[in-house]
Amino acid sequence: MDPNLYLWHEEGFQLETLNGEIVLLHPVRNIIIHGSQTASLVWQLCDGSRTVGAIVELLSAAYPESADDIQNDVPAAIQMLINQGALTTK
Amino acid sequence: MSAQKLSRREALKLLAAATGAAALSTLPPAWSKPDLQVGALPAHAQTSLLHILNTPFLPAEIDLGQSYCWDGIIIRFTAAITPPTAGIVLQYSLSYNPTGAPGAITSPNPTTGTVATNASGQASIDVTVLPASPFFGTEGTLTVVWSFVNPADGTNSVSQNHDIVVAC
Amino acid sequence: MSVGTSCDHFIHFAGNTIGVTSADPQVCRAIETHFRHCLGEHAPSIATYKITAVDQTGFSISVNGSDLLSKFSLGQAMHFLMQDGLTRLNGASATHLVFHAAALAHHKQGIILCGKSGSGKSTLAAWLTAAGMQYLTDEVISLAVNEENISGFCRSIVLKPGSAFVWRNLTAENSIFHPDDNSAWVSPTLLNPTAPCANVTPRILLFPQYTPGAPLRTQRLTPAEALFRLLQCLVNSRNFPDGGMSAAARLTRQVHAYTLEYSDLETVAQWITQTASKP
């Protein structure tokens, strides 16, 4: 994944945050997504103000013991959210 | 992001600000692989009862400008299910019982088959009955029996008759 | 209301009403038994059904004045009424969220069994009712958008062919009905005379799955996991501007939620009773 990519939340989703986890509902497209706490962090950081690379860097600094995993986990989660239409690169 | 490496504390503060976390303690204490699950809403107004098959429409003669004596008469049968659901596969079984001059079903061939319901929960089949002789016509009863292919969709069957008179 | 051999009834659920009229005593008796706890006062109806005996074995049905051409048996006519009527009630409500779920009450604690067809909701509901719990529904619950309590479509329990609940040993004239699909409609009062319950505050939300031969396995869910699964049982989401999300989330915040995999009714019923009894 291009580390210079910016990502935005796709429109039309209803969001609930419960104990740090997220549930997204798009009633028209008929899709429901549940994200764990770390998936929720990734989702929330994709607000158009940071590149993929910046998100990886921020999370790696917050959780340095898992920096290697974060390098792979974050782009994979972002790709999944793009595939489900929850994130867009515009 | 600046070229200088962020300290952990600075990173957590930025994270809390970006995610609206009330305090650093509400952030996950450790990293775990992000888990994402995807699901879908059920069909609108869905119940768990099986569908019911019925025949709300009378059989209709389809006139394509053909000669009934030489090309046959075409009858359309339509079945419907409640609640109306697309994609439910129905089986049809056809038979023609002449009471006068003979004739036979020429289409569809074979006389049993399947058809899926449309968005209105309806499925139709056009049946051609051809007189054995174009000079004598045919008279008899055309019957269709509809049933569900998958018992999980429904279990009842319905039949419909149509009296045919082709005078030649 | 029954007058002589004819009847004129109103079935209520989730803020809406359907009307049913018949002059046939068999039809009237079936409605008054198997929809008894859904009946109420006259109200404007979203659909009106008229079931008429055509001859000794056949019935015709009209819906909102339009006749269906098929001739139905009594079983098919009642099945149609249940299926079509409930579909309309489920789909019409814009004031109540409607979930595909069974619900019971144990010492005023509401237990929701959420799941699609085949998960064993009706069988579990029958078992728990026979074990002494109060019965709200085996099919759909409603939750008003700004309220805490749930209500149920309190029809007879519909046990499909293959259900593990042994209803065949029960005998009571008119309390068990057999429509033509080989299912059995069992009046809840046959299992437990004090069973019917109008509404309850939900405390336990369960997602049961019957798996032959499986040992009992339970897993506690986070509120978000529960909401994710609960939304997959919400049958009238499109009637709400937010898809019903905020009201459903409120429900998951007030309950303890679990997945359940089971094969033995007695074991799972024991677990449910114990869990519901915890403070």
CA of B33 to nearest chain C CA: how many angstroms apart?
16
- Interchain CB contact of B104 with C (< 8 Å): no
**Is there a contact between C86 and B43 if contact means CB atoms under 8 Å apart?**
no
Q: What is the pLDDT of residue C1?
A: 62
Q: What is the pLDDT of residue C2?
A: 58
Q: At A20, list the tokens.
A: 């740090």
The three-state secondary structure class of B68 is helix
Exposure letters B29-61 (e unless 16+ CB within 10 A, then b)? eebeebebeebebbeebbbbbbbbbbbeeebee
From the list C116, C158, C182, the residue facing B42 with the nearest CB is: C116
**Is there a contact between B6 and A61 if contact means CB atoms under 8 Å apart?**
yes
C-beta atoms surrounding A15 within 10 Å: 15
Distances (CA, A) of B33 to A39, A68, C195: 8, 11, 47
Q: Does domain B50-166 have CATH number 3.40.50.2300?
A: no
CATH 3.40.50.300 placement within chain C: 96-277
Look over chain C and give the mean of its residue pLDDT values, rounded to a whole number: 89
DSSP characters over chain C: -EETTEEEEEEEETTEEEEEEES-HHHHHHHHHHSGGGB-S----SEEEEEEE-SSS-EEEEETTEEP-SPBPHHHHHHHHHHHHHHHHHHH-SSEEEEEEEEEEETTEEEEEE--TTSSHHHHHHHHHHTT-EEEESSEEEEETT-S-EEE----EEEPTT-SS--TT---TTTEE--TTS-EEE-HHHH-TT-B-SEE-EEEEEEEEE-TTPPPEEEEE-HHHHHHHHHTTBTTGGGSTTTTHHHHHHHHHHSEEEEEEES-HHHHHHHHHHHHH--
**Is there a contact between C245 and A18 if contact means CB atoms under 8 Å apart?**
no
CA angle (C170 as vertex; C165, C175 as ends), nearest 5: 105
**Is there a contact between C86 and B154 if contact means CB atoms under 8 Å apart?**
no
Of A62, C173, C43, which is closest to residue B15 (Cα–Cα)?
Answer: A62
Chain CA centroid to CA C45, Å? 20
What ranges in B32-85 are assigned the alpha helix state H? 68-71
Mean pLDDT of B145-162: 89
Q: At A36, list the tokens.
A: 């764990």
Q: pLDDT digits over A17-71, tens only? A: 999 999 999 998 999 999 999 999 999 999 999 999 999 999 999 999 999 999 9
Q: What is the pLDDT of residue B19?
A: 82
In a domain, A79, yes or no: yes
Mean pLDDT of C62-66: 89
C53 close to C24: Cβ distance less than 8 angstroms: yes
The three-state secondary structure class of A82 is helix
Angle (deg, nearest 10), helices C223-231 and C245-254: 130
Q: Which of residues 46-65 of A touch B (CB under 8 A)?
A: 47, 50, 54, 57-59, 61-65
Q: Name the band, by pLDDT with cuts 50, 70 and 90, for residue C205.
A: very high
C109 close to C73: Cβ distance less than 8 angstroms: no
The three-state secondary structure class of A31 is strand
- Per the model's pLDDT, the better-predicted residue between A29 and C166 turns out to be A29
Q: What is the pLDDT of residue B113?
A: 97
Q: pLDDT digits over C183-203, tens only? A: 788 999 988 988 899 999 999
* Chain A residues touching B28 at Cβ < 8 A: 20, 37-38, 41
Which of A42-51, B61-70, B150-159 has the lowest average pLDDT?
B150-159
Q: What is the pLDDT of residue B6?
A: 81
Percent of chain C with pLDDT over 90: 67
- Per the model's pLDDT, the better-predicted residue between C24 and C67 turns out to be C24
In a domain, A30, yes or no: yes
Judged against a pLDDT cut of 80, whether residue C175 lies above it is answered with no
Q: What is the pLDDT of residue B104?
A: 96
Look over chain B and give the mean of its residue pLDDT values, rounded to a whole number: 90
Q: What is the pLDDT of residue B1?
A: 44
Chain CA centroid to CA C31, Å? 15
Judged against a pLDDT cut of 90, whether residue B91 lies above it is answered with yes
In a domain, A39, yes or no: yes
C61 close to C68: Cβ distance less than 8 angstroms: yes
In a domain, A2, yes or no: no
Q: pLDDT digits over C211-222, tens only? A: 889 999 999 999
Domain ranges of chain B: 50-166
Q: What is the pLDDT of residue C76?
A: 82
H or E element in which residue A45 lies: helix A37-45
Residue C101 dihedral angles phi and psi, to the nearest 5°: -165, 150
Q: At B19, list the tokens.
A: 């995610």
* Chain B residues touching A41 at Cβ < 8 A: 15, 19, 27-28, 34
- Interchain CB contact of B12 with C (< 8 Å): no
Which residue, chain included where needed, has tokens 């974060």?
Answer: A70
CA of B43 to nearest chain A CA: how many angstroms apart?
10
Q: Name the band, by pLDDT with cuts 50, 70 and 90, for residue C80.
A: confident
Distance from C-alpha of B76 to C-alpha of B53, rounded to nearest angstrom: 17
Q: What is the pLDDT of residue B2?
A: 45
Judged against a pLDDT cut of 70, whether residue B17 lies above it is answered with yes
**Is there a contact between A34 and B26 if contact means CB atoms under 8 Å apart?**
no
- Per the model's pLDDT, the better-predicted residue between C112 and C87 turns out to be C112
Chain B interface mutation, best of C69, C78, C155, highest count of B Cβ atoms under 10 Å: C69
Q: What is the pLDDT of residue C5?
A: 75
Chain CA centroid to CA B37, Å? 29
Q: How many domains does chain A have?
A: 1
Of B136, B138, B116, B115, which is closest to residue B128 (Cα–Cα)?
Answer: B138
Q: What is the pLDDT of residue C200?
A: 97
The three-state secondary structure class of B30 is coil
H or E element in which residue A52 lies: helix A52-62
Q: Give the strands of the sheet with C2-3, arranged side by side.
A: C2-3, C6-13, C16-22, C47-53, C59-63, C66-67
**Is there a contact between B57 and C87 if contact means CB atoms under 8 Å apart?**
no
Q: What is the pLDDT of residue C180?
A: 63
Chain B interface mutation, best of A14, A22, A36, A73, highest count of B Cβ atoms under 10 Å: A36
Judged against a pLDDT cut of 70, whether residue C131 lies above it is answered with yes
Residue ranges making up the domain that contains A56: 7-89
Judged against a pLDDT cut of 90, whether residue C94 lies above it is answered with yes
CATH code at position A62: 3.90.930.60
Indicate if ipTM > 0.90.
Answer: yes
- Interchain CB contact of B27 with A (< 8 Å): yes
Q: What is the pLDDT of residue A12?
A: 93
C69 close to B57: Cβ distance less than 8 angstroms: yes
From the list C83, C117, C232, the residue facing B39 with the nearest CB is: C232
Mean pLDDT of B35-57: 85
* Chain B residues touching C158 at Cβ < 8 A: 48-49
**For the domain C96-277, what is the CATH code?**
3.40.50.300
Q: What is the pLDDT of residue A78?
A: 97
Judged against a pLDDT cut of 90, whether residue C121 lies above it is answered with no
